[in-house]
A and B are shown apart, each in its own frame.
Chain A
Amino acid sequence: AQRVTQPEKLLSVFKGAPVELKCNYSYSGSPELFWYVQYSRQRLQLLLRHISRESIKGFTADLNKGETSFHLKKPFAQEEDSAMYYCALSGNAGGTSYGKLTFGQGTILTVHP
């Protein structure tokens, strides 16, 4: 069975400090990994996906297959980064995922001024 674990329920940092949101996964095949974000009073939206290898809003995430991790990082946090962050995995070993997502528990990031 596939599983996504986000060990930190809450994470607080000060503006300008580096931030790292941890995500570990278990999956028997080659996973597709995502970070979704939910800002206050907004809907859940895609932040980035590992296959794109892009930086969005200053955030990056590297897939480490050896450590089965997909941590989200930003060198200098901003107050507008405060939100709920979900790590998610799409995969169906031996079959088709149909776009189904397995989510972690979520991490609430608060960036203090």
Chain B
Amino acid sequence: NAGVTQTPKFRVLKTGQSMTLLCAQDMNHEYMYWYRQDPGMGLRLIHYSVGEGTTAKGEVPDGYNVSRLKKQNFLLGLESAAPSQTSVYFCASSYSAGGNTEAFFGQGTRLTVV
């Protein structure tokens, strides 16, 4: 049982390049999230999805796009990478919309934009 898997684990981009981060979960969870982790700022929500075919903006959505074409996958895209997007990206999923629900996290993707 893999849980939440993120691809790739590391990536270096040049400013202006594009890339897609893939998140896959095998727990049949409805809800999926993308967070970024920056020193001194904790994790901040970029986008989230409440089910297949849906997406919504989080706290820091600018510069990112997402898609949830299949229930098990949640893609995060950077159309034109900027140095400010250097961060560690975490995907998470949960089975319920309830506030008490546990979130299950991927192992993270370390992205450097030069």
Contact = CB atoms under 8 A, between A and B. Distances in A.
Interface of A: 4, 6, 9, 31-32, 34, 36, 43-46, 49, 51, 86, 90-92, 96-106
B1 interface: no
Contact of A101 (B41, B45, B50): B45
A51 B100 contact: yes
DSSP majority for the A interface? loop
Interface residues of B, number: 30
Given A100-B58, A101-B33, 13 more contacts: A6-B42, A86-B43, A90-B99, A90-B100, A91-B99, A98-B31, A98-B56, A100-B33, A100-B45, A101-B43, A102-B45, A103-B35, A103-B43
B96 to A, nearest CB: 7
Contacts of A43: 4, 105-108
6 contacts: A36-B103, A43-B106, A91-B99, A96-B97, A98-B50, A103-B42
